[in-house]
A and B are shown apart, each in its own frame.
Chain A
């Protein structure tokens, strides 16, 4: 993917750029707000990573300018402000995701990935599939190799989210936000437990394994080649 990073802090910018390039993306790094807006408006980017506080122009102003101009490019807002209302303000201004500094590089890369390959809105598909796993969304039934698997409603939501983002690295934070819809800080690694339960049901006794742990990052659902 072609990415634009607008970040005035040189070290953070270099770090982010390096991480995204390692993940196989093409990255343009701009340190100045006005120049950043100029580049962003020119278009051609799959995702824009935007620092909230920039010299000359506020990151939020750039975001508003983009959205007012009708530019739909997904934007991930980076901010040193971690409060709930900052986050809400950012999302309301048109950001697609929000990450508080300091962040784990792998979390940023995973989120950028998810933003760049968003599933078609309101995916029409009534059945989600991977390998021999089938999730019938209409009947809310899950089968693997023709065998019916009973899942709790929450496990179904978790599986649906992973199926819709198959192949992507999903961090614990992303999973919590998408499946539980609460913004909070679990003191225990609670997501791991739920993934492990889901794994027991859909992977145990079947090959190939579908849910994989990505060390230091999170999980992904895919058929390993």
Chain B
């Protein structure tokens, strides 16, 4: 199946129409069956009964077959009666000579069954007319045979008509159903697609997107309006949350600035007294204020990036360069901890994005890898481009993260191993994830037998046209 056909097959509306088509065909078949029974089967049964009567009546006249004059006379009389269906007969004696008959059948052709339906043409003047006869075959002890029957051409015609109608109607129904299904699934599919596309745009952070409303007031419009109302509500909530966090940020920043300034003063004053306890305490307090500020800044930054408040910067950049520069930046740390860092990246990896944010993301991943890899370990950074998606893997030979914790990596303040002693506030990966989403990408932690992989996927530059 081509992809298009496969999509069609998976579309709900198309399947629905197919189901209706089958239902429709079955209905037509049932109707025709009833018609067949009423117009063919039942009349044929009646004819059969009357032929059976005739057969019995004429067979009684045959006697031992020595004198058939009375029988032939009776048969001829019956032929000449004009009321009702045309009477057909054929009388064959023991030597297969035809004694009387008005149907063009050769005795040798007669089968062995008790009933026969034969078709033949009669030449009546200059008109050929088609006929069908329903016949009862009566065998006699001496080898002679009598055929009696009636004309059933009208029934035959009806039967042919019904067979033709059945075939034609079924084909027509199938075609109508298929065509209708295509049209329906295209029409309905287009509406569903529009809703789907709008939802996807919202999903990647374009909160202002709305589902199109046609104004016809149909079911889809009502659905779209409900979805839009929901989006309005969500947007309002997000705005109020971000307003609150902005206010908190602003209200906290002022006292934090004062606190930091005073602690700084205290630190200087303490160092002048020469009192070690006082000095270290003041320094510790100032360090804590700095730490507080960093956590606070990181949180705000993640929140802003996630909500899409930071206007997305989309400059052309080369991810490969960023990667090499980040590795170079961290080279002294790796050297000091005797960790071998290898890089495998294509010479250029063009994409559009915010270089500062992406650099931050790469650095956070590298920093993490270097922090959790024991001395003498290895960190491998590889960048691959696969079907327009950049896949940046930062792999280390550290202890790794158990599966139950991996799912929570990237949550704010989540630390897989708080006792590991590595410093950090549990916001590094959350920031990377926010940056990835900001670029319509993702951050994943694939399962590996040994060590740990952080995988950053980003959409590459679409090929130039």
Residues of chain A touching chain B, judged by Cβ–Cβ distance below 8 Å, are: 9, 11-12, 15, 18, 80, 82-85, 100-105, 154, 180, 182-188, 190, 193-194, 196-197
Contact = CB atoms under 8 A, between A and B. Distances in A.
Given A15-B265, A83-B304, 10 more contacts: A15-B258, A80-B254, A85-B311, A101-B254, A101-B256, A102-B259, A104-B264, A182-B325, A188-B370, A193-B333
A185 B370 CA distance: 16
Contact of A193 (B262, B336, B367): B336
A190 B310 contact: no
B243 interface: no
B356 interface: yes
A187 B367 contact: yes
B370 to A, nearest CB: 8
Given A85-B311, A193-B332, A102 B256 contact: yes
A212 B354 CA distance: 35
A80 B333 CA distance: 32
Dominant SS among interface residues on chain B: helix
Interface of B: 249-250, 253-254, 256-262, 264-265, 289-290, 293-294, 297-298, 300-301, 304, 309-311, 313, 325, 328-330, 332-333, 336, 354-357, 359-360, 363-364, 367, 370-371, 424, 428
Contacts of A18: 265
A84 B325 contact: no
Contacts of B354: 84
Nearest to A176: B329
A69 to B, nearest CB: 29
Contacts of B332: 190, 193-194, 196-197
Contacts of B310: 83-85
Most buried by B among A12, A188, A196: A188
Given A83-B304, A187-B363, A182 B355 contact: yes
Given A12-B257, A84-B356, A85-B310, A187 B329 contact: no
B329 A183 contact: no
A172 to B, nearest CB: 12
B248 to A, nearest CB: 12
A83, A101, A102 interface centre (most CB from chain B within 10 Å): A102
Contacts of A188: 330, 333, 367, 370-371
